[in-house]
Amino acid sequence: MYPIVEKRVLASNIKSVKVLAPEIAEKAQAGQFVIVRVDEKGERIPLTLVDWNRSEGTISLIFLEVGVSTRKLGKLERGEAILDVAGPLGCPSEIRNYGTVCVVGGGVGIAAAYPIARALKESGNKVISIIGARTAGLLILEEEMGKVSDELYISTDDGTKGYKGFVSDVLKMLILKGYNFNLVYAIGPAVMMRAVAETTRPYKIKTIASLNSIMVDGMGMCGACRVTVGGKTKFACVDGPEFDAHQVDFGELIKRQMFFLPEEKLALEKWESRECCK
Amino acid sequence: MSAAERKIQKKSVSMPKQNPEVRIRNFNEVALGYNEEQALAEAERCLQCKNAPCIKGCPVEIDIPVFIKLIRERNFEAAIKKIKEKNSLPAICGRVCPQEEQCQKYCTLGKVGDPVSIGRLERFVADWERERGFNIPEIPASTGKAVAVIGSGPAGLTVAADLAKLGHKVVVFEALHLPGGVLMYGIPEFRLPKVIVQAEVDYIRKLGVEIRLNHLIGRTYTIPELLKRGFNAVFIGTGAGLPQFLNVPGENLSGIYSANEFLIRVNLMKAYMFPEYDTPIKVGRRVAVIGAGNVAMDAARSALRLGAEQVYIVYRRSREEMPARKEEIENAEEEGVQFCFLAAPVRFIGDDRGWVKQMECIRMELGPPDESGRRRPMPVKDSGFIVDADTVIIAIGRTPNPIIQCTTEGLAVTQWGTIVTDENGKTNIEGVYAGGDIVTGEATVISAMGAGKRAARAIHEYLTGKA
């Protein structure tokens, strides 16, 4: 069991938990994730490692409540425990001094962008961050991102905060303004990462995306997370989760992510009706 | 009437099974096992050969004639004790060992009729004991030595049990959330009920073995770290858990699963009980399973139980070359699985949502034997044809898990990614041993257990300074 030692609500359906998991905290690196199974009947779901404290032995996870698993996780309070947490999984980000790096985070993907931005900053990069959400109320980690970035830009789809539009629009604007990025990191919904990749492609700026495919074991065994990168099949869990965004077949990724949507909806309805009868 | 005069029954006592019409609607165990009377009648058939040819067919060298004699004497407790001297997982082996290729292949009776059903008798006494509660053998005083076992599949559990019984401290590291490896994620409930796996794992825990779940060695700890943290030896039993794909166009369409994904969802995550369990599985009306090994049969039979109207096995060779156990092929046929021989997919075709709807296959013909001794399939020119399939399961084999090899500097590995060892499982790194599929490539539960036994012996000698 992995006890929750702290819990925060970041936005209406985005929550943050700090979990006691000393062995994972000891090894965690930017870009890696864990597989979480909330209870005996739960799914295995991948969640990015947002933060870790080696001396406390804790890791921090941030999640958007979308389906049964994340809703169940969101119901756990401080003092309660997650049944299974395995990790750290996936290849760590390649952190070194690239020069000027743009870190783009969209939605709950900002949580995954944060440790990468921080590690890049600590390695001496000039870090320009762009974070965005649908609306101001859903924007997370603004303060934390600000602390690890030389400049922070914000966008919302509805214009309730920062620039009105998408993070990729802001990126385009910065490039046109003359920013010379040596590397761009894109983390968020697949459509957002595709938009970032298409923004940087004409300028030949190296762009890395951290993919959020469906996973079951998260250790290379099932192949559910397979993606086409540069015409070759790769497993996001063990070959990634980070890949060259210009090589990723995002169309395929988006279609594969939608395969179980009807089942996920059904499971959520059943769960909600059980919950309200309690 | 003396034993010599007694007429030996040429036919073995058949084991009751669930009817096919009933069993394709549930995930309960198909084979129901002998009752006492049936077990006694089958045990009676054993000739008690002095040279015991059956034993040489057993990878873990169970004293087969003696345990059968004890069954005959109705001393079931002594019979299971005899088996457990060599095999800590008898209820599992009694169910999934290919006995027809092993002990039973050498049975003298097999020359004149059916061999003695050794596996069914093993299963009978194992179940008899489990229903009454396990006898835990006395464990010798601690040797003060500690061994880390990586992976809790058949090889790892065997090493763990054997070393614990010799007084060594054993910690098993399992990457998944339940122990058992392929016994939990790979083999379906209807062939090997998971409560039985967990019961035998609990027996091993009672021998003093500690099992740490959710530990992916290579990530949570590396092997050099384990050695530094006070383990005197390490055994790698990480198996062949990586799915192989065909590498043909369209293989990443939705609705195409690796057999591993399909079976992990169904077995480990209990997706057959969705939405009571949270993990979904989606099976269409026409399911094509590519490959004809035991895993393919397991996937095909699972798909039927999940409501598919038609399930067919697509195999590039013919019936004779199918690698699956005969018993499993028969079970699949009884349940209505169809077979399409001498065909291979070359392309998958999807709809506008990216879901598979058809596949293009080509006809194959058999040429001269290849290095495996089986006749090599060769494509027939211009023989393409289209098959409807809204779910496809790729079951063409599994390869070694690479994570240990990648994170253990200096470990000798073959070009296929398997770990190089001597016949006792010793690797090129001092104190590090390996066995099972990670050394041989995909094989059987019992051969992994045999490798585990040999490695346990070698590790014990190493730890006690006799190596």
The per-residue pLDDT for B402 is 85
For B245-283, the pLDDT digits (tens) are 999 999 999 999 999 999 999 999 999 999 999 999 999
The per-residue pLDDT for B370 is 84
The per-residue pLDDT for A136 is 95
pLDDT of B6 strictly over 70: no
**Mean local confidence (pLDDT), A151-174:** 96
Q: What is the residue extent of each domain of chain A?
A: 2-89, 100-257
Residues of B in contact with A41 (CB under 8 A): 270, 276-278
Residues of B in contact with A224 (CB under 8 A): 257, 261
Question: How many CB pairs below 8 A link A and B?
Answer: 120
Please give the structure tokens belonging to residue B357.
Answer: 């709807």
Check residues B158 and A276 and name the one with the higher pLDDT. Answer: B158
Check residues B351 and B10 and name the one with the higher pLDDT. Answer: B351
Percent residues over pLDDT 70 in chain B: 98
pLDDT of A235 strictly over 80: yes
The per-residue pLDDT for B406 is 85
Partner-chain contact B279 A227, CB within 8 Å: no
**Would you call B224 an interface residue with chain A, using a CB distance cutoff of 8 Å?**
no
**Would you call B219 an interface residue with chain A, using a CB distance cutoff of 8 Å?**
yes
What does the DSSP assignment read for B143-190?
A: -S-EEEEE--SHHHHHHHHHHHHTT-EEEEE-SSSSS-THHHHTS-TT
The per-residue pLDDT for B401 is 83
Partner-chain contact B275 A258, CB within 8 Å: no
Beta strand segments in A12-146, E: 14-20, 33-37, 45-48, 51-53, 58-64, 81-82, 84-89, 100-106, 126-133
Residue type, A104: V
**Low-confidence winner among B8-17, B169-178, B358-367 (lowest mean pLDDT):** B8-17
- pLDDT confidence bin for A146, thresholds 50/70/90: very high
Closest CA to B344 of B305, B272, B292: B292
Q: Please list the alpha-helical segments (H only) found in B1-114.
A: 20-23, 36-44, 53-56, 64-72, 76-84, 90-96
Interface subset of A 77-136, CB within 8 angstroms of B: 83-89
Please give the structure tokens belonging to residue B94.
Answer: 């009694």
Min distance A242 CA to chain B CA atoms (Å): 17
**Would you call B429 an interface residue with chain A, using a CB distance cutoff of 8 Å?**
no
- pLDDT confidence bin for B371, thresholds 50/70/90: confident
Dihedral sign, CA of B400, B401, B404, B410? positive
| Strand bridging mode B169-173 / B146-150 | parallel
Cβ(B363)–Cβ(B381) below 8 Å:
no
The per-residue pLDDT for A130 is 98
CATH fold of the domain at A2-89: Elongation Factor Tu (Ef-tu); domain 3 (2.40.30)
**Mean local confidence (pLDDT), B379-387:** 95
For B110-161, the pLDDT digits (tens) are 999 999 999 999 999 999 999 998 888 889 999 999 999 999 999 999 999 9
Partner-chain contact B261 A252, CB within 8 Å: no
* ipTM score assigned to the predicted complex: 0.94
Partner-chain contact A221 B280, CB within 8 Å: no
Burial of B296 (0-12, 13-18, 19+ CB in 10 A): buried
Partner-chain contact B252 A221, CB within 8 Å: no
pLDDT of B70 strictly over 60: yes
Residues of A in contact with B247 (CB under 8 A): 233
Cβ(B207)–Cβ(B164) below 8 Å:
yes
In this structure, the dihedral spanned by the alpha carbons of residues A132, A134, A136 and A138, taken in order and rounded to 10 degrees, is -90
Question: How far from the centroid of its chain's Cα atoms is residue B241's Cα?
Answer: 12
Interface subset of A 140-179, CB within 8 angstroms of B: none
For B185-226, the pLDDT digits (tens) are 999 999 999 999 999 999 999 999 999 999 999 999 999 999
Partner-chain contact B219 A89, CB within 8 Å: yes
For B407-441, the pLDDT digits (tens) are 899 999 999 999 999 999 999 999 999 999 999 98
Interface subset of B 242-281, CB within 8 angstroms of A: 242-243, 245, 247, 251-252, 254-255, 257-258, 260-261, 264-265, 269-270, 274-280
Residue B272: closest C-alpha in chain A: A41
Cβ(A107)–Cβ(A89) below 8 Å:
no
| Of the partner residues A27, A43, A83, the one whose CB lies closest to the CB of residue B220 | A27
CATH fold of the domain at A100-257: Rossmann fold (3.40.50)
Residue type, A38: V
Partner-chain contact A267 B247, CB within 8 Å: no
pLDDT of B8 strictly over 80: no
pLDDT of B1 strictly over 50: no
Partner-chain contact B219 A23, CB within 8 Å: no
**Mean local confidence (pLDDT), A218-228:** 94
Residue A26: closest C-alpha in chain B: B220
**Mean local confidence (pLDDT), A178-197:** 97
Quote the crossing angle between the two packed helices A68-75 and A261-277, to the nearest 10°: 40
Partner-chain contact B275 A216, CB within 8 Å: no
For B315-355, the pLDDT digits (tens) are 999 999 999 999 899 999 999 999 999 999 999 999 999 99
| Of the partner residues A84, A223, A255, the one whose CB lies closest to the CB of residue B254 | A255
Closest CA to B75 of B85, B65, B67, B64: B67
Partner-chain contact A42 B278, CB within 8 Å: yes
| Strand bridging mode B310-314 / B286-290 | parallel
